[in-house]
Amino acid sequence: MFSKSCEYGLRAAIFIAQQSKLKNKVSLSTISEEINSPQAFTAKILQQLTRNNIIKSIKGPYGGFMVEEEKMSTQLSEIVNVLDGDSIFTGCGLGLKQCDASAPCPLHFEFVEIRERLKKMLENTTLISITDELNIESTILKP
């Protein structure tokens, strides 16, 4: 459902938030390794998340990536929107350009329900809520 960059971005944001909660800044190489993503690709994703003020990049020998406390309330839907736009919430399940209630594809009405449930879940899940629920030692962010 999500693009690869969105999948990696969600995993990276969650990992960075977990580490930020422990007062740790994390390097690009650590993030890339922990989410099993190519480093150059991860760098581009983190750049987008930084530009959109979801994560913070600190330069220098003691730098790294972190999520500031006030950004821990970021909804997962915001991350999806930054990386994939809103097409997952509005597009056709089969990728057709002309699909709506008056000219539906075979999956239209079922997919509308799925989209609405997905949107609600992503809007109701924040970085802090997900890190509060997850045990850092047992959470798997690598496929």
Residue range 39-74, pLDDT digits in tens: 999 999 999 999 999 999 999 888 999 999 999 999
**What is d(CA 87, CA 131) in angstroms, rounded to the nearest whole number?**
27
Length of the chain (residues): 143
Map out the domains of the chain as residue ranges: 4-133
What DSSP character marks residue 109? H
Domain 4-133 has CATH 3.40.50.300: no
> Using an 8 Å Cβ cutoff, are 21 and 131 in contact?
yes
Tell me the one-letter amino acid at 15: F
What's the token pair of residue 74? 């970021």
What is the pLDDT at residue 141? Answer: 60
Would the pLDDT of 136 be above 80? no
> Using an 8 Å Cβ cutoff, are 25 and 62 in contact?
yes
The per-residue pLDDT for range 69-119, each reduced to its tens digit, is 999 999 999 999 999 998 888 888 888 888 888 899 999 998 889 999 999
Tell whether the torsion through CA atoms of 107, 110, 116 and 121 is positive or negative. Answer: negative
Top pLDDT among 140 and 69 is at 69
Q: Among 122, 95, 107, which residue's Cα sits nearest to residue 6?
A: 122
The per-residue pLDDT for range 122-135, each reduced to its tens digit, is 999 999 999 887 76
> Using an 8 Å Cβ cutoff, are 117 and 108 in contact?
no
Contacts of 127 by beta carbon, 8 Å cutoff, 6+ apart: 13, 14, 17, 67, 71, 72, 73, 74, 76
What is the pLDDT at residue 99? Answer: 87
